[in-house]
Amino acid sequence: MIKQLVLLLIACAPIQLVHAQMSRIDKRVDSVLKLMTLEEKVGQMNQYNGDWAATGPITQDGDKQNQIRKGMVGSMLNVTGVDHTRTLQQVAMQSRLKIPLLFGQDVIHGYRTTFPIPLAEAASWDITAIELSARIAAIEASAAGIHWTFAPMVDISRDPRWGRVMEGAGEDPYLGSIIAKARVNGFQGKGFGHTDAVMACVKHFAAYGAAVGGRDYNSVDMSMRTLYELYLPPFKAALDAGAATFMNSFNDLNGIPATGNTFLQRDLLKNKWKFTGFIVSDWGSVGEMINHGYATDNAHAAVLAANAGSDMDMESRSYIQHLARMVKGGKVKMSVIDDAVRRILKKKFEMGLFDDPFKFCNEAREKEQWNNPAHLLAARDMAKKSIVLLKNESPLGKGAGVSLLPINKQTKTIAVIGPFAKGVKDNLGFWSYDWADDTARIKTLWTGIQNKLSSGSKMIYAKGCGIADTSRAGFQEAIDAANNADIVIVSVGEARNMSGEAKSRSSIQLPGVQEELIKALMATGKPVVVLISAGRPLIFNWTADHVPAILYTWWLGTEAGNAIADVLFGDYNPSGKLPMSFPRTEGQIPIFYNYYNTGRPAKNENDQNYVSAYIDLPNSPKFPFGYGLSYTSFEYGQLQFNKTSLKGKEPLKVSVTVTNSGTYAGEEVVQLYSRDMVGSVVRPVKELKGFQKIFLQAGESKTISFVITTNDLRFYNNELKFDWEAGEFEIMIGGNSKDVKSAKVNWVK
């Protein structure tokens, strides 16, 4: 008994320590709060953009330093580098209470070293690698004086027209939740107080990814059930992982702008979910409630946002200009202000900034992290894992001979064609930094391939066309290059500014004449490999139907060229799987794998007889969620269950034997889906419930098991109660969401 007690005490010790530390911080927060005037409190709730870069509409203001000195600014964004942050922090130290500034920044997929865009990383389904990518981003950013990243972006989206899909983890709430957690853990590292940990900011709360028509900033109208079931889980997962802050969103949700939305920010996030951090508005979103038609003017907007729970105003200046007056006029309670300021100060204490405001200003560290070769290696590793092999057939046709990829390193002549062949910055994608030495640092496709080849091999370059060109003037040169080569690699896609914030596209075909270039090269009869770089799922039906080998290479970052070459030449066997469905046409959007069956489901792709179908194309996507090939092949055995009739809390164990039936060692993402056959509300035909990324030698077999409990079967019913219902369940396992082995079990209460 005594021994147990001692063990219990030992086990509880760290928790007690954390509690003691927290209450010490709370006391210190209170002691600062007591000294503050109302104006100084509102100052803490005010965030300005620095002069380094702008990620939204700028308000010219030459007086910022003066306002910092007066204690009118709590945080700055877009100020980076030890030099700059130190200068402004020194100004803050001249203010009456010397409250340190927080420096926030969009460190979305790397800082000095650019990693693949988040959507690409999600395609790796490699959670350890994703966490490491965020960790490295935090190490580099914090070394440059940054305290806080506006990431992870965890918005689920079913609409590839929306440019911001590049920032998220795709369409699935389960995968999205696991990745959200990994990213928070990566950014926040061993915890605040460590100088290489930055605060995460989970965004955009909420439902921003469901903008009508995929047009950025547009309205969102959705049922509460959909909100809870699909759009909120990654936010909750990030919160549970300890995310320090949240950002609200530009959209209205069912008529109420998120920034002024009490239900989202106060009732749900702060009260029900017990979030203790603070919420920052999105850029200008407080003031934008006037445009929404929700606030009459900036003073009204400030009242609505503060009361709804937005603690910090990013750049709209509504708080700094009006909030104190609104408090004095009784429109906002002092307790609302105190609560917001307490949350903000608490984070500054936790970050250790009150103890040392210059804690993140260390030139030696900044210099050391500026060119860290280990980070480049990790970026290359992440990049090769993010690539998705969409097709790999023989140039003679399906099943006619050896698949085109991987390419033999002894190949005599390789034509490398297309606007991305020697492209530099486009490899980085949206939300990346422009450093002065980029041209030397970023690995282009050309250099990546060059590094692989022996001296006996020759490369021929032709651009063919620009990304968005309408001119075919460069085609002949490209055709000549192809005619003189043994193999043709064509790299096409979207420019870096074609997907991202405010980059919605109504047509998501390959831009310009790039697909025409591919057709012209195919007409040479040479074997053609197409690489597609993009920030979203694109439509490229002709290419998909005619070109023997296609790799989806997204925007892969600093090490793009090396990573692509690793895959092209077989030094890495591709293992990526799509985190979003790829549509056949824009007319299919929104398109997603976890749809409802409807009362008139089509029996097959050609069924159009009074069923839910299009008369001009199949319902299925061009490439389904979870899809991606390997240089080897995997075979799945039948599902084995520990039981097929279950009761209550009994776990279901399902196993499947996966065999590498090809000739290369490789990785496979084994995906588990389930379907609740009958519910009190209709349930999707499939829902991802688990996955494991496994490695198999050629010829090797492994039995993979998953455990499912009734926790995994829960859903939101019509009363928004989260529970499971007894009945029949279909359990499915496969290498993508379409090709699965399945069997049913019965589960009673």
- C-beta of 373: minimal distance to ligand BGC in Å? 30
Whole-Å CA distances, 56 to 62, 82, 283, 322, 501: 17, 23, 6, 22, 10
Q: Tell me which of 125, 162, 283, 625 binds ligand BGC, using CB under 6 A.
A: 283
Binders of ligand BGC in range 709-728 (CB under 6 A): none
Question: What backbone phi and psi angles, to 5 degrees, belong to 203?
Answer: -145, 160
State which of residues 28, 56, 69, 290 lies at the interface with ligand BGC (CB under 6 A): 56
**216 near ligand BGC, judged by CB under 6 A:** no
Closest CA to 88 of 171, 145, 149, 158: 145
- Phi, then psi, of 601 in degrees rounded to 5: -70, 145
Residue entry with tokens 């009459």 = 296
Q: How far is the CB of 488 from ligand BGC (least distance, A)?
A: 39
Is residue 468 within 8 A of residue 511, CB to CB? The reply is yes
Residue nearest to ligand BGC (CB): 55
Site for ligand BGC contains 150 (CB under 6 A): yes
Residue from the set 131, 282, 381, 469 that interacts with ligand BGC by CB under 6 A? 282
Please give the backbone phi and psi of residue 494, each rounded to the nearest 5 degrees, phi first: -105, 145
**How far is the C-alpha of 326 from the C-alpha of 336, rounded, in Å?**
12
In the complex, the smallest distance separating the C-beta of residue 217 from ligand BGC, rounded to whole angstroms, is: 9
Min dist. Cβ of residue 262 to ligand BGC (A) = 21
Report which secondary-structure segment, H or E, holds 401. Answer: none
Question: Residues 512, 467: contact at Cβ < 8 Å?
Answer: yes
Site string for ligand BGC, 580-619 (x = CB under 6 A): ----------------------------------------
Over the window 501 to 520, marking each residue x when it contacts ligand BGC by CB under 6 A and - when it does not, the resulting string is x-------------------
Inter-residue contact 743 to 730 (CB < 8 Å)? yes
Q: Smaller CB distance to ligand BGC: residue 56 or 213?
A: 56
The C-alpha atoms of residue 302 and residue 38 are separated, in whole angstroms, by 15
- The mark string for 227-266 relative to ligand BGC (x by CB under 6 A, - otherwise) is ----------------------------------------
State the catalytic residue, choosing from 252, 282, 426, 712: 282
Q: Tokens 């197409």 label which residue? A: 530
Cα separation of 710 and 545, whole Å?
A: 42
Q: State the minimum distance, in angstroms, from the CB of residue 235 to ligand BGC.
A: 14
Q: Is 282 a catalytic residue?
A: yes
Residues 2-41 contacting ligand BGC, CB under 6 A: none
In the complex, the smallest distance separating the C-beta of residue 152 from ligand BGC, rounded to whole angstroms, is 11
Which residues, numbered 106-145, are part of the site for ligand BGC (CB under 6 A)? 106
Q: For the CB of residue 313, give the shortest distance to ligand BGC in the complex, in Å.
A: 13
> Residue 202 contacts by C-beta under 8 Å, 6 or more apart in sequence?
152, 154, 180, 184, 235, 238, 239, 243, 245, 246, 247
**Rounded least distance, CB 341 to ligand BGC, Å:** 21
d(CA 400, CA 464): 30
DSSP state of 647: E
443 binds ligand BGC (CB under 6 A): no
Of 49 and 581, nearer to ligand BGC (C-beta) is 49
Least CB distance to ligand BGC at residue 167 (A): 8
Q: Does 217 bind ligand BGC (CB under 6 A)?
A: no
The 544-573 contact track toward ligand BGC, x by CB under 6 A, reads ------------------------------
Give Dmax over CA atoms of the chain in angstroms: 86
Helical packing angle, 127-143 and 363-370, nearest 10°: 140
* DSSP label at residue 651: P
Q: Among residues 57 and 648, whose Cβ is nearest to ligand BGC?
A: 57
In the bound state with ligand BGC, the residue whose beta carbon lies nearer, of 284 and 352, is 284
Q: Which is nearer to ligand BGC, 116 or 284 (CB)?
A: 284
Exposed / middle / buried, residue 338 (Cβ in 10 Å: 0-12, 13-18, 19+): middle
Amino acid at 179: I
Strand intervals (E) in 228-286: 245-248, 252-253, 256-257, 278-280
> Which 68-97 residues touch ligand BGC, going by CB under 6 A?
77
Going by the DSSP 8-state scheme, the letter that residue 266 receives in this structure is: I
Token pair recorded at residue 466 = 């620009």
Chosen residue from 22, 39, 51, 55 binding ligand BGC by CB under 6 A? 55
Q: Rule CB under 6 A: is residue 203 a binding residue for ligand BGC?
A: yes
- Could you tell me the two tokens for 5? 């007690």
305, HSE (Cβ side, Cα atoms, 13 Å): 40
> Binding residues for ligand BGC, how many (CB under 6 A)?
9
Residues designated as active site: 282
Positions that interact with ligand BGC (CB under 6 A): 55-56, 77, 106, 150, 203, 282-283, 501
